[in-house]
Amino acid sequence: MRIVPAICACVLAGCGPAPTLSLLHTAGVPITQTPRPSIPLEVVTRSTGVHDPLEVRGGDFAYADIESAVGLALSTAAAPWAKTHEPARPEGWQLEAELIQADASYADDRLIVTLGVRLTLRTRTDRRFLAQGQAGCRQSALRHPRDGAPVVYACITQMGRDAASWLALVQP
| Domain CATH number, residue 48 | 3.30.160
Q: By three-state DSSP, how is residue 37 classified?
A: coil
Indicate whether 12 belongs to any domain. Answer: no
pLDDT of res. 30: 78
Bridge-based pairing state of the strands 93-107 and 110-123:
antiparallel
d(CA 81, CA 86): 8
Domain count, the chain: 1
- 28 has a pLDDT exceeding 50: yes
Name the least confident of 20-29, 30-39, 116-125, 134-143.
30-39
Long-range contacts of 84-90 (CB under 8 A, 24+ apart): 85/172, 86/39, 86/40, 88/172, 89/40, 89/123, 89/172, 90/40
Indicate whether 11 belongs to any domain. Answer: no
Q: Is the pTM of this model over 0.85?
A: no
Indicate whether 89 belongs to any domain. Answer: yes
Indicate whether 66 belongs to any domain. Answer: yes
Domain of 101 in residue numbering reads as 19-168
Mean pLDDT of the chain: 87
Indicate whether 6 belongs to any domain. Answer: no
Indicate whether 10 belongs to any domain. Answer: no
